[in-house]
Chains A and B, each alone.
Chain A
Amino acid sequence: MADIGTDVIPEPAAGGRASSAPLLGRDSEPTLFELSQPGRRSWQLRTTAVPEVPLEDLVPDEHRRDGPPTLAEVSERDLVAHFTRLSHRQFSVDLGAYPLGSCTMKYNPKMCDAVAALPGLADVHPAAPASCTQGWLQLLVELEQQLCEITGMAAATLQPAAGAAGELTGLLLMRAWHDAHGGRRHKVVIPDSAHGTNPASVTLGGYDVVTVPSDARGCVDLAALKAVLDEDVAGIMLTNPNTLGLFEEDISAIAAAVHEVGGLLYYDGANLNAIVGVVRPGDMGFDIVHLNLHKTFATPHGGGGPGAGPVAVSERLVPYLPGPRPALITDGAGPRYGWTTTPESIGRVHSWHGNALVLARALAYLLVHGGDGLRKVAHLAVLNANWLRTRLSGTYDVPYDRPCMHECVLSASSLKKASGVKALDVAKRLLEEGFHSPTVYFPLIVDEALMLEPTETESLQTLEALATALESIAADALEPGGAERAAGAPHGTPVRRVDEARAARTLVPTFDARR
C-alpha cells in the first residue's frame, strides 16, 4: 500500500448525502406479476419421506379450493434482481442524511442487527415453556429496568408494538386507574401541537379530546389549560420537548395543575432523544410514559415499522400494566425468570410478548451507550439542531425564535410570499440535492412548516452541506423562473413528482385493479 503523506490533509467532505449512483433506475421496475412466467419457480423444500396422501383425502371437498391461488411464478434469480432493483429506488439512513422531524432517523448500528439474528434469540418459539426461554426473559427484565431508570418510572410493559399502541395502552391504564379511584372520567387534554396519534388514541380509549392552544412562545398556554381542567379530566398527553422542538419550561406548574384535579400526565416519548440522560419524565411529574425504541434507541424503522412502544408507569399504576410480564421469581424453588400477571391488569395488548427482536436491538444499543453515552446522545442531538436553526435563521422564518431541543421548526412562509415556492417545493428540491426532506406542514400550527431533526449521528460537514443546499434552494427560488423550477422538482430521482390526487381519485390498490 502506498504511503500517504501526512502533510496532505484533505478538506472534510460532507457525509450523509446520497450520491446519484444508488438511485439509478430511471426506468419503471415491472411488478412481480409482470415478471411471472407460468412454470417457473424458486421454492425448494425439505425432503421428509412423509407419506404422500393425496390432497382430496386431506381436505373435505367443500373446503378445498379449485386450484392454487395465483401468486407469481419467478426464478430465484429474477426474485433477487427484482427486489434488489426496488431497493435501488429507495432512500434510507444508510444512504444519506434523513432530517425528518419528529422521526429521529439516526444511524442504526449493525451490531444490533447481528444480535437480533442470533439463533438463540430469533428461533425461540413464543409459547415455549419458561425453562427454554430464561435468556429471553432476563433480557426483557433488564431492558425494562433500563427503561424505567431512563424515564424515572417504576415498571414497564414491553408489549406495545409501536408508539400509537403504547399511547392507547397508556390511556387504558389511565382509565383503569380512575375507575378504581373515584370513578370514570371522560376527557383528555391535548395541546394543539400534538402528534395526530394522540387524539386518535384518545378516541379509541373512550375519551373525548379537549384541545388547548399554544401560547405565543410555542408552549402550552397555562391559563388556557387551567380553564379546561376539572374533575372530569382524566389526564393530559404531552410531548416534551413539544413538536415545535421547544422544552415546556412550565412543566412543573402544568403537572401540579393536572394533579390538582386528580388527573394523570401522559408523556409521549416521540421526542425523548432530546433529553435522554438529562432530565426524566418521572422527575417532571409524568405518571405514564411511552417510548419509541425505533427513534431514541436506534432500532431500524423498516420503511414504516416494526417499531416498539413500551409503556412505563409510576408506582401507583403498576398493578394495571398489561400481563403477562416477565419477572425474576424468587420463591422457594430458587430464583428463575417467569411470567406474572396481576388481577388488576388491563390485559394483553399484543398476540405474544411484543416486538421481541426490536427489544433485543434496543438493549444492545443501551449497553453500548450506558448512562453517560445516552446523555451525550441528547447533547449532540440538541447541538446539531441548534446549529442548523441558527445557520438557517437568516434564510427561512423561525416562527419561535429561541433555543430548540433536538429539532427545529422553520417556515417557508416568507419565501412563499416572495417567490411562490412552498414548503413542499423546498422538500422536493432537497431530494435533488441527495438529502431526505424534512417533515413538512407539521406541526399544524405553523404555516408552511419545515421541521428538521438532524439527530446526533450526522457530522458537522453533513450539516454544512445540508444547510448550504437549503440556502441555495431559497436563493434559487427568488431568481427569475424560480417558482417554476421548484414546482418541477424533483429531477434525478427514480420518479418525478408523484400525482397523489390521481391515486386517491382513481384508486388502484392492487395490480389486479389496474385497467
Chain B
Amino acid sequence: MSGYAPHTEAEVASMLEFLGLSSLDDLFAVVPAALRLAGGLDLPDGVAEPDAFAYLDDLARANRPTGRHLVCFAGGGAYDHEVPPVTRALASRSEFVTSYTPYQPEVAQGVLQAVFEFQTLVARLTGMEVANASLYDGAAATVEAVNLGVAATGRSTVWVSRGLNPTWRQVLATFGSGTAHRLVDVPLVGGTTAWDGVRHEDGDPGVVVVAYPNYLGCLEDVAAARELCDRTGALLVVAFDPIAAGVLRSPGHWGADVVVGEGQALGMPLSFGGPYLGLFACGLSQVRRLPGRLVGETVDAEGRRAYVSTLRAREQDIRREKATSNVCTNQTLMAVTAAIQLGWLGTTGIAEVALRSARATRYCRDRLLALPGVEPLVTAAVLREFAVRLPLSAPVVIERLVDEGFLAGIALGDDYTPGTDDGLLVSVTERRTRTEIDAYVDAMAKAVR
C-alpha cells in the first residue's frame, strides 16, 4: 500500500512488544469481533501518488473551466475577479494552510494577526464596528444573522427580500425549519423590494433581510428598509457585496444592524463553489451574540502586543446547548486569503475594481439590449450584474454559447420569471476586455436569432 505513515516493520514490532501485544489486530480487541470488517473495505487498492494525480487530472480535463476558452459572464455570488500570483503564493504558505484553530495563541500569532487584520478590513468595508473571523459562505452568514436577530428581538418572523440570492434563501429555509423561524418572502417590483407588499396581519417582523446590490444586480433603497425596521423594531440585516462596496455607500451608512456577505470575490478562485468565505459584521452592541470566532488584541506577559481568540464564552465548546451558534471550524484560510487580497487591492484598488466592473457591465448591458428581442428584466439601477429577458429559453442559450466559448450567465428561476425560463443574469467583472464583450454579444446575437 501507499501512504504517509513512517513506521518500519521493525518499529511496529518493537512498539507492539512494548505494549505486550502480538499483532496490530490486538489493538482492536475491545471492538466486538462481530462488528469488525472481516474482509476489509470494498474499495480499490491504493495507488501511487502519480497514478492518483493522473486519474484526477483526467477528471479535471473532463470539465470546462473558465478562461480563454470559456470566457466567464456568470456571477450570482461567484465572480471571476483578478486573483494575482502574490495572493496565491502567500495564501498557500504551509504555516497558514496546515495549522489548526489557534487554541495556543503563543504559537499562533501569524493566523491570529492575519484574522485581526481581516476583521478590521471587513469592518471598514461594511462600515460596522466589529466583524467575526469568518463563516462558511454567504448563505451560512445569513442564517447566523437571522438567528442573531431573532434572539435579539425575541420575534421569529423574518421578512426576506426576494432580491436575496435564491440559494441563500433556500439554505435559510432549511435551517429556519430547525429554529422554527417564520420566513416571509417579500417580492420585487421593477427589480427592488416592495416592502409594502407584505401583509402585516401576522405581526411585526423581528428581522428584515435585504441585499445590496441584490441578486438581479439592482441597488435597493436600503433607507426604506431601515425605516421599516425603525417602525417595527426589527433588526436590519444587509447582504452586501465586498467589491461593490468599493463605490457604494456602506451598509453601516444605511444603518444596518448586521451585515453579511459572500467573500469569494476577495481572492478565491471559482472553485466549483467552495471553499468560499462567509462575511459577518455587526455593531458592538450585538457582540455578545456574535456567532463564531473573534480575535482580539491584548498583551503578553512582557507587555508586548499579542492577539487571541476572545469572548470565547459565546462559543459551543464552552456554552454547549446555550451557545450563540454551533460553528467551530470556519473558513479561516479564506479569511487570511481575503486579508492578503485586500492588502493587494488597497484603498485605491478596491474602488478601481468596482469602477471597472461597473463600466464593463454598463458597456455589455447597453450592447446586449441593442439586440433585437433582448429586453431588460428590471428597471432599477444596476452596478456590476444585470438581468435580461431573452427571446428564447435561457438554458438553451447558455448551451449554445458554451459551444462558442462563453459562459453566458445564469438562468433565472421561477422566482424572477414566473412561468418562463427566458431570464438571464449576466455579470461582467474588471477582467473582461472590450474584445471579449464584443465577441460575447456577437455570439449572443447568433444564438437568439
Contacts and interface: CB of A to CB of B under 8 A. Distances in A.
A497 to B, nearest CB: 5
A92 B95 CA distance: 5
B109 A172 contact: no
A310 interface: no
A171 B95 contact: no
Contacts of A490: 106-107
B56 interface: yes
Interface string A493-511: 1111111101110111111
Contacts of A511: 116-117, 120
A343 to B, nearest CB: 15
Contacts of B2: 368-370, 373
Interface string A65-90: 10011111110100110111011111
Contact of A100 (B1, B95, B100): B100
Interface string A134-177: 11101100000010011000000000011111011001100100
Contacts of A80: 86, 89-90
B255 to A, nearest CB: 14
A359 to B, nearest CB: 8
Given A50-B437, A358-B274, A58 B174 contact: no
B304 A369 contact: no
Contacts of B180: 206
A373 B3 CA distance: 7
A180 B126 CA distance: 43
B107 A90 contact: yes
Nearest to A249: B30
- A49, A364, A456, A510: residue with the most chain B Cβ atoms closer than 10 Å: A510
Interface residues of A, number: 209
Contact of B435 (A49, A356, A510): A49
Contacts of B168: 351
Contact of A59 (B35, B124, B358): B358
Interface stretch (A2-10, A36-44, A407-415, A472-480): A36-44
A473 to B, nearest CB: 15
B66 A124 contact: yes
- B76, B100, B137, B316: residue with the most chain A Cβ atoms closer than 10 Å: B100
Contacts of B7: 380, 383, 456, 459-460
Interface in A332-348: 346-348
Contacts of A191: none
B250 A69 contact: yes
A386 interface: yes
A427 B434 CA distance: 59
Interface in B26-42: 27-32, 34-37, 40-42
Contacts of A111: 49, 52-53
B15 interface: yes
Contact of A279 (B37, B96, B113): B37
Given A125-B74, A199-B321, A304-B102, A502 B343 contact: no
Contacts of B60: 115, 118-121, 135
B203 interface: no
A392 to B, nearest CB: 12
Interface string A369-390: 1111111110110111011001
Given A46-B82, A457-B5, A457-B6, A94 B139 contact: no
B233 interface: no
B92 A371 contact: no
A298 B307 CA distance: 28
Given A353-B274, A498-B105, A510 B129 contact: yes
A508 B296 contact: yes
B67 interface: yes
Given A70-B347, A171-B178, A369-B2, A126 B273 contact: yes
Contacts of B323: 196, 199-200, 203
A368 B63 contact: no
- B101, B139, B273, B398: residue with the most chain A Cβ atoms closer than 10 Å: B273
13 contacts: A46-B430, A53-B363, A69-B124, A135-B59, A164-B329, A247-B31, A303-B111, A348-B139, A349-B171, A363-B56, A368-B46, A374-B41, A511-B116
Closest 9 CB pairs of A and B: A352-B273, A120-B60, A302-B333, A90-B110, A370-B46, A126-B273, A135-B62, A304-B332, A371-B41
Given A45-B352, A364-B52, A383-B24, 12 more contacts: A50-B363, A63-B219, A125-B74, A132-B407, A134-B62, A196-B328, A351-B262, A352-B167, A490-B107, A498-B298, A498-B299, A509-B310
